[in-house]
Chains A and B, each alone.
Chain A
Amino acid sequence: DAGITQSPRYKITETGRQVTLMCHQTWSHSYMFWYRQDLGHGLRLIYYSAAADITDKGEVPDGYVVSRSKTENFPLTLESATRSQTSVYFCASEPTSGSYQETQYFGPGTRLLVL
């Protein structure tokens, strides 16, 4: 199906473990984003990517690693999970047509619990 998908939708892990959250989009959008959402903070940008092999930090990048070897995929890795990374993670994508129609499209989210 066309659109943006995230997997897993729910994940429970333990402190210190490595976790990878997957994001896949079928639109061939150039830009992709990772946000986290916590109570009291709204959505905050973790990392973003302008194209394959081009990534940059957002507001809260510490403890996270991203890669983008293919345009359609943008995985987010927590190298050593901590309890403070318990959150809901949203992936988003956006075209760069330069037209008035630019907007971000969000995935359904991944709920991560770090014990």
Chain B
Amino acid sequence: DAKTTQPPSMDCAEGRAANLPCNHSTISGNEYVYWYRQIHSQGPQYIIHGLKNNETNEMASLIITEDRKSSTLILPHATLRDTAVYYCIVRIINSGGSNYKLTFGKGTLLTVNP
């Protein structure tokens, strides 16, 4: 079972920031927060991940609350091509065995409107 809770859908206007929330209230101290997205009919695409500090890369920013029970993925200037299902996943890194599995929940369908 997924250990995260996300809204099923969100809308965003093109050019505006998209803020996607994720609740992971049962996260353990050695679990990272990962974000992936899946554009229709394509394989999941890695976006970003973090442990407790905020992270930024060329695609997005990840804001993790101080208690680590929730996080927000920020797409600073959403485009139509960002329309996809976004998955928030918690996972232990570097523990071997089945902990390498990514448990995908239902994610959030982000629709970017012109």
Using a CB–CB cutoff of 8 Å, the interface residues on chain A facing chain B are 31, 33, 42-43, 45, 48, 50, 56, 58-59, 90, 92, 94, 96, 98, 100, 102-109
Contacts and interface: CB of A to CB of B under 8 A. Distances in A.
B106 interface: yes
B59 interface: no
Interface of B, secondary structure class, is loop
Contacts of A109: 41-43
Contacts of B41: 109
Interface of B: 2, 34, 41-46, 49, 93-94, 96-98, 100-102, 104-107
Nearest to A43: B104
Contacts of B2: 42
Given A90-B43, A102-B93, A42 B98 contact: no
Contacts of A56: 97-98
Contacts of B42: 108-109
A45 to B, nearest CB: 5
